[in-house]
Amino acid sequence: GLRAGSTARNSIAGLKAWHAAQNADWKGGKRLKYVLNGVENRRPALSRLPPRLPVSRGMLRILRANLDLSNPVDIAVFAAACLAFWGQCRLGELLPSSTTPATSKRTPTRASLTFPSPSSPSHTIHLPSTKTRFSQGEDVVILNQHGSSDP
């Protein structure tokens, strides 16, 4: 119990990649999976982080109070935070992980957002890729909210 299971899994993944690069047979199988599961079960208690507090409306108010809403970047930060909160989205589904074109295909753009109409007072944003529907994406409905955190 000196290391977490993910450390052992990463080391094994490196060995497996080396075998693939050398065109060598990989002998990993069920027994190796059992060993890795055992390592995970014996991981030190201190290697587990305590759960984080859930994001609250109060946290959004604090964020807003500490941003300059005349700055376009700060406006985008607050909009993304509100959209993630009210739409129950992961930030990785809303924001690119880098500026490469490959990631831009998996993140929403302005064209992904539909605005409310008289018959439907809600916004809809199409997420091109989500954790559970990677290639199909998903539509998220955002209802109007009261207060400064209305997305």
Q: 24-73, pLDDT tens digit by residue?
A: 999 888 898 888 888 888 877 777 788 888 889 999 999 999 999 999 99
Q: 15-24, pLDDT tens digit by residue?
A: 999 999 999 9
pTM of this prediction? Answer: 0.62
Give buried/exposed letters for 22-48 (b at 16+ CB in 10 A, else e).
Answer: eeeeeeeeeeeeeebeebeeebeeeee
102 confidence band (pLDDT: 50, 70, 90): low
